[in-house]
Structure 1
C-alpha cells in the first residue's frame, strides 16, 4: 500500500510538472496537433524527460542500499544498466508521444491547440509515462524489459512508417526507413533498441547469476558481453544509415543477427538443465526462420521486407519465451557476488 501511495503521488507530480512545462514551452500562438510547428515534439521532449526522472527517483527510493553488499564490479554493472534504462524510458516515451500525435493529427485535421490545451496534453502524457516508469523502478524483471523492447520496436517502426520520406520503402527493405528527411525516427529507434538489447542481456546475466551463483560467473560474463555486443551492433545500424556508409551499415546488420544467435545459444546452454519448453521453442523458431529464408531466396515467394519482419518477430518471440523461463527459475532476492574481481576468482 505504501508503494501504491507513492506511485499515485508520483503520477500527480508528473502531471503537474508536465502541464506547467508544456504550457511554458507552447506559450504563444495556437499550434496544430502534428506536422511542422506542432505540439508533438515539445510534448515528447517534456514527457520523455519526466519519465526518465521518475524512473531515476523510483530506483533511488526502492533500491537504496542494494549495492552495499556487492563488490565494486557488480555495482558498476548494475549502475550502468540503470543509466541505460533511464535513457531507454526517455526514448520509448518520446517516440510513443510522437506516434500518438501523428495518429491524432490525421484524425483531427485542422485542430489548433492553445498553450493551455497543449500543456494539459503534456501533463497527461507525462503522468502516464511517469507512472509506468515509477512502477518499473520499484521492481523491474527481465521479462518486463523484453516486453518493453518488443513494444518499443513496434512503436518506433510504426512512427518511422508514418513519417517515411519514400512511401514505397517497403519494396526494398526496412533500412529504407533510415533514409530521407524522417530518417531520424527509424535510426533513433535502432539506437535506443540497441541500448535496450544490451540492458536485457545484463539482466539475463543477473538472473543466471542468481540461479547458479559465482560458480558460473565466467560463463555468465560471456553471455552479458555477447548481448552487449549484439546491442552495440544494432545501435550501429542506426548510427550508420544506409545512405551514408553502405558497407558499415550492412556489416552492422549482419553482425547483429550473428551475435543475437550466438548470445542466444550460449544463454540457453548456460541455464542448468534447459527446460523442455525452451528447447522446443528454440528448435521451432530455428525451423520457422529457415523455411521463409529458403522460400524467399530460392523461390522468391517473400520480399526482403517481409522476410526481415518474420525473422525479427520470431526472434522477439523466442526472447520472450527465454525471459519468461528465467523468471520462473530466478529467485527474487539480490545475490551479491563474493568475488572481489570479475576476472579472478
Structure 2
C-alpha cells in the first residue's frame, strides 16, 4: 500500500510514528514543526496555570489565616490577594524567561546584555503592578454588589488562587517570546487598569474639571502616583525594545541613531515617573516641569524613531499628524482655553498610544525574530 500524499492525509495520520509522506515540501515541514512548538507551549502554559493556582491558593490561605475578613473595606482580603497574585506573576515570568530564552544574552557584549537584562527586570516589575492592580480594580467593581460579604481564610485563598492563575498564565505567556508588541500591550493594559482604579477610589470627585494629577492627591493618591511611576518605567522599557528591533533591522551601522532613540524614550519614561514621585499638592512647579518634559521627550522620541525608519511613508505621515494634533491641543488648552488640562492629557495620551501601537505593529512585521548580538564594545564607538 503506497504512502498517502501530504495533501490527502489528515493531521492525525501525519502524527503516526514511522509515517513518511512522499515528496514533502520544506514549507510543510516548517508548518508541522510550528504546530508542534505551539502545542508544546500550550501544554506548558496549562501546567503553569495549574501550578500558579495551587501556589496562590496555599499562599493566600496562609496570608489570610486567622478568621474571616470582609471582601472590601478596612482589613479586606483584596490587598493580600493582590500582593500574592503580583509576586506569583513575577515568578511565572521569571520561570518562563529561564525556560524559553536562557542564554539569549550570552553572545552579546556587556552593554547590550545589561540593557536586555534591565529591560527584563522592568517587565517583571510591571507584571507585578498589572496583576496587583487588576485584583484591586476587579474587587472595587465587585464590591458594590457584594457589600457585607465575609470570607474565611480558605475562601480568600481560593480567590487568590484564581487571581494567581490568571496573572501567572499571562506572565508565563509573556516570557515565552517577549516582543516589543508585548511590552507595549503591557503598557496599555497597565495605564487603563491603574487609571480606572484611581478614578474609582478618588476622594475628589471633581478631579476631571482640572487635571489627572488631582488623582494623585490625598490618602488614595498612591494608586495614581504608583501607576504613573510604573508606566514611566514601561515607557523606558518600550524604548529599549524599540531600539532592539531597530538594531535587528539596521545593524551596528545605525547604533548611534538607535542610542538617541533609546535615550529619548528613557528620558520620557523617567520624566513620567517623576510626575508620580512629585505630587501636585506638595511640589507643584517640579510636577508641572516633569509633565511638560514628558510631553516634549515623547515627541522627540517619536521624531527620532521616525527618522531612523525614514523609508516608511506611513510612519512619517503619522508622526507629522501626531505632532500637529498635539500642538493644536496645547493651543486649545492654554491659549484659547477651550479644553481643560484633564481633556488635554486624555487627548495627548490617546494620540501617543495610537502612534505607538502603529509603530510596534510595523516593527513586528519588519524586524527579524532572531536575536542580533552587536559586534561593538560600545554603542557610541565604531
Give yes or no for contact 1:242–1:249 (8 Å, CA) kept in 2: yes
Relative to 1, partners in 2 of residues 1:343 and 1:307: Cα closer, same or farther, differing over 3 Å? closer
Task: Name the structure 1 match of 2:283.
Answer: 245
CA shift at 1:335, angstroms?
0.6
Counterpart selection for 1:302 from 332, 339, 354: 339
CA shift at 1:280, angstroms?
2.5
Task: Name the structure 2 match of 1:100.
Answer: 138
If the length of structure 2 is used for normalisation, what is the TM-score?
0.88
CA shift at 1:144, angstroms?
1.7
- Distance in 1, matches of 2:261 and 2:125, equals 23
Larger Rg computed on CA atoms: 2
List alignment gaps of at least 5 residues for structure 1.
none
The superposition leaves residues 56-75 of structure 1 with CA deviations (integer Å, 9 ceiling, x where unpaired) of 11101100111121111111
Give yes or no for contact 2:101–2:176 (8 Å, CA) kept in 1: yes
Does residue 266 (structure 1) correspond to residue 307 (structure 2)? The answer is: no
CA shift at 1:289, angstroms?
2.6
Counterpart selection for 2:319 from 282, 300, 304: 282
Alignment of 1:178-193 (within 5 A): 178-193=216-231
Alignment of 1:82-93 (within 5 A): 82-93=120-131
Counterpart selection for 1:205 from 212, 235, 243: 243
Higher RCO by CA contacts (8 Å cutoff, separation 6 or greater): 1
- Distance in 1, matches of 2:141 and 2:108, equals 46
Task: Name the structure 2 match of 1:47.
Answer: 85
The superposition leaves residues 139-192 of structure 1 with CA deviations (integer Å, 9 ceiling, x where unpaired) of 121112112111211111111111112111112111110100101000000110
Counterpart selection for 1:316 from 343, 350, 353: 353
The superposition leaves residues 220-248 of structure 1 with CA deviations (integer Å, 9 ceiling, x where unpaired) of 01111111111111111101111221121
Does residue 329 (structure 1) correspond to residue 354 (structure 2)? The answer is: no
Corresponding pairs, count: 344
Secondary structure of the structure 1 residue equivalent to 2:251: helix
Counterpart selection for 1:114 from 152, 157, 174: 152
Task: Name the structure 1 match of 2:179.
Answer: 141
Secondary structure of the structure 1 residue equivalent to 2:172: helix
- Distance in 2, matches of 1:106 and 1:217, equals 53
- Distance in 1, matches of 2:102 and 2:337, equals 56
Task: Name the structure 1 match of 2:269.
Answer: 231
Instruction: Provide runs of 4+ in structure 1 moved above 4 Å.
Output: none
The superposition leaves residues 5-30 of structure 1 with CA deviations (integer Å, 9 ceiling, x where unpaired) of 11111111100000100011111222
Give yes or no for contact 1:192–1:235 (8 Å, CA) kept in 2: yes
The superposition leaves residues 73-125 of structure 1 with CA deviations (integer Å, 9 ceiling, x where unpaired) of 11111111111111111011111111111111112111111111110010000
- Distance in 1, matches of 2:199 and 2:208, equals 9
Give yes or no for contact 2:302–2:319 (8 Å, CA) kept in 1: no
Give yes or no for contact 1:179–1:243 (8 Å, CA) kept in 2: yes
- Distance in 1, matches of 2:313 and 2:145, equals 48
Alignment of 1:27-66 (within 5 A): 27-66=65-104
- After TM superposition, the structure 1 stretch with the greater mean CA deviation from structure 2, 181-190 or 321-330, is 321-330
CA shift at 1:339, angstroms?
1.0
Give yes or no for contact 1:33–1:102 (8 Å, CA) kept in 2: no
Task: Name the structure 1 match of 2:15.
Answer: none
Give yes or no for contact 1:33–1:104 (8 Å, CA) kept in 2: no
CA shift at 1:283, angstroms?
2.5
Q: Give the superposed CA RMSD.
A: 1.3
Task: Name the structure 2 match of 1:24.
Answer: 62
Give yes or no for contact 2:255–2:380 (8 Å, CA) kept in 1: no
Secondary structure of the structure 2 residue equivalent to 1:107: coil
- Distance in 2, matches of 1:59 and 1:90, equals 15
Give yes or no for contact 2:271–2:290 (8 Å, CA) kept in 1: yes
Task: Name the structure 1 match of 2:191.
Answer: 153
Task: Name the structure 2 match of 1:343.
Answer: 380
